[in-house]
Chain A
Amino acid sequence: MFSLWIAAVFLFSTVYTAQVCYDRLGCFVDTVPWAGTLQRPLGKLPWPPERIKTTFILFTKQNPSTFQEISALNPSSILASNYRGNKTTRFIIHGFIDQGDENWLKDMCTLMMQTEDVNCICVDWQGGSRTGYLQSSHNIRVVAAEIVYLIKYFQSNYNQAPADFHVIGHSLGAHCAGEVGRKIKGLGRITGLDPAEAYFQNAANLVRLDASDAVFVDVIHTDSAPMVPYLGLGMSQAVGHLDFYPNGGEHMPGCDKNIVSQIVDLDGIWEGTRDFVACNHLRSYKYYADSILNPEGFVGYKCNSTEDFVAGKCFPCPTGGCPVMGHHSPTFKAPAGTVNMKFYLNTGDARPFMRWRYRVTVTITGDRDVSGTLRVSLYGTNGNTRQHEIAKTKLRPGSTYSAYVDAEVDVGEVKKVKFLWDNSQINPLLPKLGAQVLVLQRGKDRQVLQFCGSGSVREEVLQPLDPC
């Protein structure tokens, strides 16, 4: 009863109708659902645009590494820039604490220029992101209004259609993108890179990113563990048409390194410190950046839960094919009207993050039971993988062992497989084991290949298996 009272006081004391209006951007209120709901008890009004200082930094194929600042308030800046109305325009919005001239936004634009000719605009709103989280989560409404203002300017002066725009947002920026989509009907695409959880998860559609905000909404979840107690910063709720949960969506490989190794990163101390603070959360834009040049390495398998994915219930892709996570996910034609489809996949623990998934089923032969490890490496037209562990258990001749392999290279068409085992204890009888039949199924297109081996080998000796 007491807690109910506290909740009531909390809710009603904050529900006062305050409104703030800024010229050209419109008015912002803090009534329900913006504040005073269970998910967002406290209300704040967004700061004035002069304080947030939203700036637009343009990169194009003509200037892939040097930026041009553009503003709808200063049309000559757009005229003088390399902005072209006949190309797709992609916005990238950063999140809490972050800034628009942070390397990852620029690098993402640079990567896009290698495959396509687009207007890539990094949105900087560090004036509004470096404050309390609550204030920051309301400031995104003004940032969105600024983006909408610029998009409307492009529409009227450069004949760009709403479908020509793609808004990519990380964390709070993802919800900012949702707000843009709510104001521009028929916006082409929104990509949510680990949308922020606090004040948004389970909140009203109006407030957060959801599938109705654009024609196509794809989301990558990389830090979806609950905020209490795991400090997960991203949402677990599926909010797009396609929702990808790489590595289960909660704990990313390569993010559990000890603190020194994490901070003293290959990409420098600054990147390492960012990862130390929010490694899982920041993985979302790293996967996205990697996917720009390597779409095939991020095939997502439709699945209901991490457990089902790990158990192999979602393998291989259905005959209609699988979507790829990241930049190229619109190539997947989702059935009309379906939202919140969940897809699972595994990635690597460091760059490059691409992986190619296979199921390996191997039947072994030999002279006696031994306990040890089975390993397999794949040899294809484009190269070979390293040795992947299939089983680490009591190995019984005649038994079949099965496992999933996330190959770190795309080997192309598999021509040969090599089998290897090693003993976990010293055995003076010098046992021999061999692979009789090995069935390999590729995830992306269901292709099944069978390989046969003859005889058996001693431990740590490679046995080649040929197609049969």
Chain B
Amino acid sequence: MRTLLVFIACSLAAVMAAPPQNKGIFINLENGELCFNSLQCKSSCCHRTSGVSLARCVHLAADKQECSVKTLYGTYYRCPCESGLKCKSGISIGGSITNTNFGVCYDPSDTAESS
């Protein structure tokens, strides 16, 4: 019953939202808005917490935060890093398929100094 109600509410919302598309409804989405692909987001990260959850635009990962390397899937469990930063991660084939090439953002110029 509850799932049915949720479904009706969702579809109602979708129908109501369909006609006016002036505000970022498909591209140029703000953080917090629902998305299918990172290309739609202003932040260029369409993030979902699990395989079955809805994806929303969020900020890119900052320095020392968890990240993913860029994928072809278009959505991320961890966002890619902000500009100038790299995501230190071991890229594996399995990880590439399951979209779980996770790592931590770091600044490449930091390691250049220390080494």
A and B: real partners? Answer: yes
Known: A269-B6, A386-B59, A460-B83. Contact between A260 and B14, CB under 8 A? yes
Q: Which residues of B contact A18 (CB under 8 A)?
A: none
**B84 near A260: Cβ-Cβ < 8 Å:** no
Contact with A along B55-79 (1 / 0, CB 8 A): 0100110111000000000000000
**A464 near B109: Cβ-Cβ < 8 Å:** yes
Q: Which residues of A contact B107 (CB under 8 A)?
A: 418, 462, 464
Instruction: State the Cβ distance, B42 to closest chain A Cβ, in Å.
Output: 12
Instruction: State the Cβ distance, A268 to closest chain B Cβ, in Å.
Output: 9
* A71 CB-CB contact with B under 8 Å: no
Give complex CA distance A379, B62 in Å: 11
* A461 CB-CB contact with B under 8 Å: yes
**B62 near A258: Cβ-Cβ < 8 Å:** no
* B17 CB-CB contact with A under 8 Å: yes
Q: Which residues of B contact A205 (CB under 8 A)?
A: none
Task: Count chain A CB atoms within 10 A of each CB in B31, B84, B109 and give the residue with the most.
Answer: B84
Q: Which residues of A contact B54 (CB under 8 A)?
A: 264
**B64 near A259: Cβ-Cβ < 8 Å:** no
**B14 near A386: Cβ-Cβ < 8 Å:** no
**8 Å CB contacts to B: which residues of A255-282?**
256-261, 263-264, 266, 269, 273
**8 Å CB contacts to B: which residues of A374-388?**
375, 377, 379, 383-387
Give complex CA distance A259, B19 in Å: 11
Which residue in A260, A377, A420 is a CB contact (below 8 Å) of B34?
A: A260
Q: Which residues of B contact A263 (CB under 8 A)?
A: 9, 13
Task: Count chain A CB atoms within 10 A of each CB in B16, B23, B59, B82 and give the residue with the most.
Answer: B82
Contact with B along A425-465 (1 / 0, CB 8 A): 00000000000000000000000000000000000111110
Give complex CA distance A259, B16 in Å: 8
* B25 CB-CB contact with A under 8 Å: yes
Q: How many residues of A contact B (CB 8 A)?
A: 30
**B83 near A377: Cβ-Cβ < 8 Å:** no
Give complex CA distance A273, B110 in Å: 46
**8 Å CB contacts to A: which residues of B101-115?**
107, 109-110
Which residue in B56, B62, B109 is a CB contact (below 8 Å) of A377?
A: B62
Which residue in B23, B25, B32, B82 is a CB contact (below 8 Å) of A387?
A: B82
**B84 near A256: Cβ-Cβ < 8 Å:** no
**B9 near A260: Cβ-Cβ < 8 Å:** no
**A261 near B56: Cβ-Cβ < 8 Å:** yes
Q: Which residues of B contact A462 (CB under 8 A)?
A: 84-85, 107, 109
From B5, which residue of chain A is reached at the shortest CB distance? A269
**A383 near B16: Cβ-Cβ < 8 Å:** no
Instruction: State the Cβ distance, A250 to closest chain B Cβ, in Å.
Output: 18
Q: Which residues of B contact A254 (CB under 8 A)?
A: 31-32
29 A-B interface contacts by CB (under 8 A):
A254-B31, A254-B32, A257-B30, A258-B33, A259-B13, A259-B17, A261-B33, A261-B34, A261-B56, A266-B56, A273-B9, A350-B31, A350-B32, A375-B83, A379-B63, A384-B62, A385-B62, A386-B59, A386-B82, A418-B63, A418-B107, A420-B84, A422-B83, A462-B84, A462-B85, A462-B109, A463-B109, A464-B107, A464-B109
Listed from nearest, the 5 A-B pairs whose CB atoms lie closest are A386-B62, A261-B33, A259-B17, A462-B84, A261-B34
